[in-house]
Amino acid sequence: MRKGDVCHTTPMRRDIGLRQRYRAEMRFRAYGITAISIGMFFLGVLLWSVFSKGYSAFWQTSLTLNIRFDAAIIDPKNIRDHDSQVLFTANYPLLVRNALAEKLGVPSDDHLALHEVSHMFSSSVRVQLRDLVLGHPQLIGGIQKVTFLASADIDSAFKKQINLAGSETRRKISNRQIEWMHRLSADGSLHRAFNTGLFTLTASNRPETSGLGVALVGSLYMMLIVLVLSLPIGVAAAVYLEEYTHKNRFTDLVEVNINNLASVPSIVFGLLGLAVFVNFFGLPRSTSIVGGLVLTLMTLPTIIIATRSALRAVPPSIRSAALGIGASKTQTVFHHVLPLAVPGIMTGTIIGLAHALGETAPLLLIGMVAFVANYPITPMDPATALPVQIYMWANEAERAFVERTSGAIIVLLVFLILMNIASIVLRRRFERRW
Amino acid sequence: MNPRLKIKMCGSNVKVFYAQKEILHGIHLDIPENRVTALIGPSGCGKSTFLRCLNRMNDTIEGARVTGQILLDEEDIYDPSVDVVELRSRVGMVFQKPNPFPKSIYENVAYGPRIHGLAKSRVDLDEIIEQSLLKAGLFHEVKDRLHDAGTSLSGGQQQRLCIARAIAVRPEVILMDEPCSALDPIATARIEELIDDLRRNYTITIVTHSMQQAARVSQFTAMFHMGNLVEVGTTKTIFTSPGEQRTQDYITGRFG
Amino acid sequence: MSGPSVIFSVLLLGSGGFLVSCGWARIIEARGTRMHSRSHYYGWWTFLIVVIPSLVFFIFWSICTNLYLENKASSSCHTTAGDMAQSCSVLVKMAHDLAHKLVLDDHFRNSQEDHDAVLQNILGKRKILFSLDNKEHIVSIAIEWAQRIKKFHMIGTIITFVLAILSCFVGIFSVSPERRSRNRVECVTVFWLMLASSIVILITVGIVLSMLFQTISFFQSVSLANFFFGTVWDPRFSAVDSEEVVGQFGLIPLLAGTLYIAFIAMLFAIPVGLFSAIYLAEYTVPWLRGIIKPLLEILAGIPTIVYGFFALAVLGPFLHDLSIFLASGHAFIMAQSALTAGLVMGIMLVPFVSSLSDDIITAVPRSLRDGSFGLGATQSETIWRVILPAAFPGIVASLLLTASRAIGETMIVVLAAGVVARLTINPFEAMTTITVKIVNQLTGDFEFNSPQTLVAFALGMTLLVLTLLMNIVALYVVRKYREQYE
């Protein structure tokens, strides 16, 4: 074949099944997009459902009324000067009921109506007025403007969470109460205010008087314990494994243990806490100290792994440079390598803490599902935690608790998002590439 | 250039940008059919980049952009109507580092024919594989262990496996990006022999760092420098009487 | 002196030793002698030898004396009370509380007499009501106990201080140019580092031992066959009168529920997660990847309790209503069902699968991709035939890790799966899992040594063994196929 001939033959085009192959390609892409959309869709639905149910928990319906502190009701026998007990046990809700009934024009002999009136405000008025009277005994006999919580049903109705159009028998709030509610709202005595109680109140069986106070304190204590214990231990362990040893039996053992611990189900740590800290060491159940210890054990592997990878990212040239000018191994590590790894360690620690903050299962086992009405003073006092409080509220049947639960979830998510943002900012700000 | 030779590929005013940086500044180069064309030049001169333009491998790099025209049999390969998959089935490529897939030797070679549907039957496929391995000079070494992992071969064998893999698709052009840079001299010699054999059926373009290699295997040589094509001509001309001072300097080893 | 103040004083003494040694070393240096180490290392060395031995002793002493006293009190309680061990432990606990309150009380500490008045005062303040007959007895035990605590504490404190002061002098007087203080300090540092890394082993040992002991004592009252092969779960909490009835502790329905729900979850999570990962790694432009990856990370960072609430309050009722709508009035999907739990768990697992697989897919070397593209493969062909096979072992390992997560997941199933232990293949019915039962058995009041409580540890052990097995298999797969990577 002469070379000139080649010029005139156009090469044969082969059929390599392009159309089919491109159709497969498109299908494949479609699968990918579908998968991502499903993930994003559920993220959206999850967040939307929590926020739409929960944002209203940050507002609470309150009533402001002039209340007459009728001495005939508080202290009918007029013995309060020598028996302080009478002020404790007085029928304070009756004061509020009378004030409200008067405002609404309900006759004092219509017992059915009065009963409905007394269901419009929260039973927490008893404690609220009692404390008021105990603090200012001169109020008795006088009139004082007081703001107090509406009952959970009124709160739900006012937030339009109850279908008011439906049949009266199928809802917890009567037509008459609705009418009152509108009247009170029109003249401004019924109003919405920011719900500080959500953050300050403690456990209660009434939704409108239960709050996250104890849970927030408990979670704070536990996070502090986790930070104080797991950071030094975790960093020390990682430094030892990464900088001081060569591969040997011991490091292999530790390595395997770290990897296994990282994947042990969290509930098993709860069992460990129960058997070791509560049963063996005799630490009190339901306390932040036990919770903090259990969470520390869970967080340690995370911090060790993060620290090790941060140390590994420091180039060997830095170590050689320090060793080369006569620094000892320990000086090299603590003066040069560790400071360079700090951003990575911080990021890992924050992520570990965020996990610990959201962890629920082990805390259930060490008894943090407790009805704690008093603020814990020390970590040795009974407390709950934020996620555990969510769990307890989620198990309550009442409508208003769903709102509280979602509100608590929002609080938890806000904390977690703040922590995550902090770790991302740290990573971006200090990230160094060699 | 010899006018009787058919021009297989023809680049005119080829510019390549990575992000905003211009890497190649308008290259005009013809690649004649059934010949070996060597692209030489110092590191970072753009010869590999140009090679990757010839089968649009630059498409896979984020931020790379190619302007100008490259013809393959009178057809612009950067035309939107051209299918890149079909183009690459016609213009195969062998890379600097041997990169066999983590599969058996057989599967490595069978990969191309399989995806392009080139074999009608199992027997057909076996035939293609045997032929490809034979052409790549590897068959006799591996015929008893076709189902061993491709990665278990030595470096030189791996590179020949990659060449066999490229041949199995029956391309018209084979691009080789420093195919011997990771190999020892004996393996290099075998690959060079192989390239010489292959040029009967294929058009070959090879990027190389080694002047000796360019002189040994190629018929035409193009000298690149700083993103420009300095000089192109028959290998004999370039190595005996280069027209440019820079070519002279490079070939005699004054820079590079 | 209270415990914290002892510790504080020892630390103070150590700091004093630090300053003195440091200054002494500087003085020697100023005289022109070349010291082996920088002056602060001499200070640190003194600090360490002051603080470490004395505090170790102090803590050890406190724990030992506590245990000894507890033991002594309970034995004296046994001999005098002589009644049931149960109530005796209650008495000891009361005496313990009382004794510790006595110790903390100022009057008791200052006055040697008049314990009774102090005691009355404390009891009044704490509103502790004694309805027990043997109040006198408890009070006497408590007083004796409190006195012993005082005595032992005093001895311990004195020894601690003597130790600390002695070592302080040793530290200060041993400051000399030849002394290799830096090496010694570094030695201690390294020792502490090693100690910290052995804690990890200690935790594992703790987990295994605590599980093992409780599990063994569980199997002393319940037969192995009852647990492992029983198909009925009915651990009735024994009433006082019917202590003979142990109940049925069949693992099978729980295990079946666990695996079934995990299966449903994986059925959802694997395709969605894997395809997301592939799409993210191979197709998306960087800016979109920069948006979607953080979103998936958010999904991964949401605590499981939130998913549980989502299942309980949103998805469960939705599926229930949907089934009413589909079957025109007959709800064939329960509000709590294996399907709901599995689906929500699947949603939870998607980001795990996708981020693990994403890492593995992007770790496949670029040269393999180039090789495939260079032969004219389309992107999906490259992924299916080159990248996925290369990443396969890694993906299998990550799926195993995800599966072990699904098995150990608690909060979602506690809220969404139900509590009825039932053997069924109908995903629309409520099922229960090992983790749910652990929680059920251990919340509320319980007696630690009853089989109803101990079974939780046996279940936990089963869970631990299951997940560890999966981990080991995952590690094995990765090791076995690692050589296939480059």
Instruction: For residues C166 and B78, give the distance between their C-alpha atoms in angstroms, rounded to a whole number.
Output: 87
Closest CA relative to residue A142, chosen from A108, A95, A80, A91: A95
Residue of chain C nearest B51, judged by CA positions: C374
Look at residue A368 and tell me if it is in a domain.
yes
Q: What is the pLDDT of residue A410?
A: 94
Phi, psi of B14 (to 5 degrees): -80, 120
A238 and A92, same structural domain? no
Q: Which CATH class is domain B7-99+173-251?
A: alpha beta
User: Which residue stretches of B62-207 are H helix?
Assistant: 84-90, 105-116, 122-135, 139-142, 155-168, 185-198
Boundaries of every domain in chain C:
3-179, 248-482
Look up residue C12 and give its two tokens. Answer: 């103070």
Tell me what ipTM this predicted complex has.
0.87
Cβ pair C376:B60 closer than 8 A: no
Residue A287 covered by a domain = yes
| Predicted TM-score of the model (pTM) | 0.83
Does A221 lie in the same domain as A139?
no
Q: Which CATH number belongs to the domain containing residue A302 in this structure?
A: 1.10.3720.10
Q: Do A260 and C182 touch (CB under 8 A)?
A: no
Mean predicted confidence (pLDDT) in A263-290: 87
Q: Angle C106-C111-C112 (CA atoms, 0-180°, nearest 5)?
A: 130
Per CB-CB distance under 8 Å, the chain B contacts of C485 are 102
Say if the Cβ atoms of B115 and C378 lie within 8 Å: yes
Selected residues 173-212 of chain C with any CB under 8 Å from a CB in chain A: 182-183, 186, 189-190, 192-201, 203-204, 206-207, 210-211
Is any Cβ of chain A less than 8 angstroms from the Cβ of B30? no
Establish if B87 touches chain C: CB-CB under 8 angstroms: yes
Is A243 within a domain?
Answer: yes
Contacts of A7 in chain B (CB under 8 A): 6
Fold category of C248-482 in CATH: MetI-like fold (1.10.3720)
Domain count, chain A: 2
What's the confidence (pLDDT) of residue A6?
39
Residue A11 C-alpha, separation from nearest chain B C-alpha, in angstroms: 8
Per-residue pLDDT of chain C (486 residues; tens, 9 = 90+): 677 888 899 999 999 999 998 888 888 888 878 878 888 888 888 999 899 999 999 989 988 888 888 788 777 776 665 555 555 666 676 777 777 766 666 555 555 555 565 666 656 555 444 544 556 666 777 777 778 888 888 899 999 999 999 999 888 888 888 888 888 888 888 998 888 888 888 888 888 888 898 899 888 888 888 888 888 887 765 544 445 556 778 888 899 999 999 999 999 999 999 999 999 888 888 888 888 888 888 888 899 999 999 999 889 889 888 888 888 877 788 888 889 999 999 999 999 999 888 888 888 888 898 999 988 898 899 998 999 888 888 898 889 989 999 999 999 999 988 878 888 888 888 888 999 999 988 887 677 777 888 889 999 999 999 998 998 888 888 777 665 544
The range of the structural domain enclosing residue A340 comes to 213-430
Alpha helices, DSSP H only, in A187-245?
197-200, 213-239
Q: Which residues of C touch A413 (CB under 8 A)?
A: 302, 306
Instruction: Decide if A249 is inside a domain.
Output: yes
Domain coordinates in residue numbering, chain B: 7-99+173-251
DSSP states of A26-69: HHHHHHHHHHHHHHHHHHHHHHHHHHHHHGGGGEEEEEEEEEE-
Residue B242 burial class via C-beta count within 10 angstroms: exposed 0-12, middle 13-18, buried 19 and up: buried
Instruction: Pull the structure tokens for residue C47.
Output: 């600090």
Please name the residues in contact with C350: beta carbons below 8 A apart, sequence gap of 6 or more: A38, A39, A42, C268, C269, C272, C273, C276, C296, C299
Who among C186, C283, C351 is closest to A29 (CB)?
Answer: C283
Query: Cα separation of B234 and B222, whole Å?
Result: 9
Q: Which residue of A has its CA nearest to B116?
A: A16
Of B170, A17, B177, B79, nearest to C378 by C-alpha is A17
The last residue of a domain, from among A144, A162, A194:
A194
